Amino acid sequence: MLKKALYLLLINFVFVAFNVEGQSLKYYQKQKNRNKESIQYSKQLLSELQKTNKNKLDQLYLIRNELNKRKSTILVINREIELISQRISRDNEKLQKLYFELENQKNEYAKLIYYSSLNLSVQDRMIYLLSASSFNNAYKRTIYLKQLTDYRKSKYKMISYSIKSIDSSITAMSLLKFEKGKLYLEKKDERDSLLNLKRKLDHNISKLKLKMSEIDFSERNKKEKNRILNSNLTIEISKNISITKETENKKEKKIGKVTGTDFAKYRKQLLWPLKKFVLLHKFGNYAHPVLNDITLRNDGVELGASPNSNVYSVYWGLVVNVISIPGMGHSIIIKHGDYYSVYSQVGKVYIEKGQNVSRGQRIAQLKNDTKLEKLIFQIWKGKKKLDPQKWLVNV
């Protein structure tokens, strides 16, 4: 009985482990699908840009984005292969145990059949029953013979079950090995694409280096525009912070949750401000891909998307202001308690100062000046700029 309980416990443990690994593989599959979607979108944007033969630097960033996504996909495939290899190894051990158990069961069953047939033939059974000293004793002997028969049947069922388990394990292992083979082929394709992209990236960088002065002017101009943007945002946010606590409290009592006062609780759960996009630049300093002497800084995340793409509020809040900056479109500042979300370089705006907005509400559209429009998205706590990727949901 104890042996059977331990066997069932082992089967249950294997099932739980299989279920957890199955969920992990599904998670990795979702990651790969997201990467593929991002790669396709990046290719689409790149194709549109190449038709105009402009924005060479943006083309470079799109190629780099695709390269990074393919690197990420290879890492995911490696993890999938590792998980499947671990499962095959465990299934192999389980299969060997099942074979061993089956052999033991067959030997025990053979002995049982041999001794029962040797000691209790049909004639022997009748003599055994009739030789009982009383009816009560005969009844007990009948029960004993029935139990012996049932025990033999249960042993036979256990053998049948073990054979089925072995067959299932062999089938499952064959499927896993097939899946592993497919992953190796997928990995090879990704590696080939990666090598081609690296060559393409190096080629584009070489071509851009021939236009150093043009790029230098463009990047220094961008740097100056970002300085003006951040200066204006600092002024607007500082003004809002200076509002008296009494006035602020009145507003919060009046509009309740819409102010997003519980913003801090939703770290890593905020929506992205665009539904389809390419992450061009992360938060912080980064080296220019062509100009060695220029280090650029991003005070948020820079997202690339198609012209006229809708922009959404990442959380409930109150619109502090909508400001216009020459050459950079509009910037929207939304307050969420002690935090602010900022959406810059947008075109058409659908909300206005003092308006309450909800999570996922459309608040603006990107401009329509180029084939690749950009949104600079920032998160501030007071006057401090934070890394948005630490707040936005993983994609």
Whether 342 and 280 share a structural domain: yes
What is the model's pLDDT at position 118? Answer: 45
What is the model's pLDDT at position 29? Answer: 82
Whether 65 and 119 share a structural domain: yes
The residue with tokens 């502090």 is 320
Range of the domain at 302: 243-390
What is the model's pLDDT at position 259? Answer: 55
Closest by Cα among 307, 295, 321 to 373: 307
Does residue 312 belong to any structural domain of this protein? yes
Does residue 221 belong to any structural domain of this protein? no
Listed residues 188, 208, 228: the one ending a domain: 208
Does residue 363 belong to any structural domain of this protein? yes
Evaluate whether 219 touches 277 at the Cβ level (below 8 Å): no
Whether 247 and 203 share a structural domain: no
Whether 300 and 204 share a structural domain: no
The residue with tokens 């052999």 is 103
Residue 156: give its domain's CATH number: 1.10.287.950
Does residue 338 belong to any structural domain of this protein? yes
What is the model's pLDDT at position 86? Answer: 82
Global pTM exceeds 0.75 = no
Count how many domains the chain has: 2
What is the model's pLDDT at position 1? Answer: 47
Does residue 395 belong to any structural domain of this protein? no
What is the model's pLDDT at position 358? Answer: 93
- pLDDT tens-digit profile, the chain (395 residues): 445 554 554 445 444 444 555 567 788 888 888 888 888 888 888 888 878 766 777 888 888 888 888 888 888 888 888 888 888 777 777 777 767 776 776 676 666 666 555 455 555 556 655 666 676 776 666 676 666 666 666 766 776 676 777 777 677 767 777 777 877 888 888 888 877 777 777 777 776 665 666 666 676 777 778 888 888 888 888 888 777 355 655 544 444 444 566 888 889 899 999 999 999 889 988 777 666 666 778 899 999 999 999 999 999 999 999 999 888 899 999 999 889 999 999 999 999 999 999 999 999 999 998 889 999 999 999 889 999 999 999 87
Cα 28 to the center of its chain, rounded Å: 7
Listed residues 208, 223, 257: the one ending a domain: 208
Q: What tokens does 197 get?
A: 């992209």
Whether 8 and 154 share a structural domain: yes
CA distance 345 to 357: 19
Whether 291 and 185 share a structural domain: no
Whether 156 and 272 share a structural domain: no
Sequence-separated (6 or more) residues with CB below 8 Å from residue 187: 74, 77, 78, 81
Whether 326 and 373 share a structural domain: yes
Residue 254: give its domain's CATH number: 2.70.70.10
Listed residues 187, 208, 229: the one ending a domain: 208
Whether 83 and 204 share a structural domain: yes
HSE value, Cβ hemisphere, 13 Å, CA-based, for 164: 6
Q: What DSSP string runs through 112-134?
A: HHHHHHHH--HHHHHHHHHT-SS
What is the model's pLDDT at position 115? Answer: 57
Q: Angle at which helices 212-241 and 56-119 pack, to 10 degrees?
A: 80
Whether 125 and 53 share a structural domain: yes
Does residue 219 belong to any structural domain of this protein? no
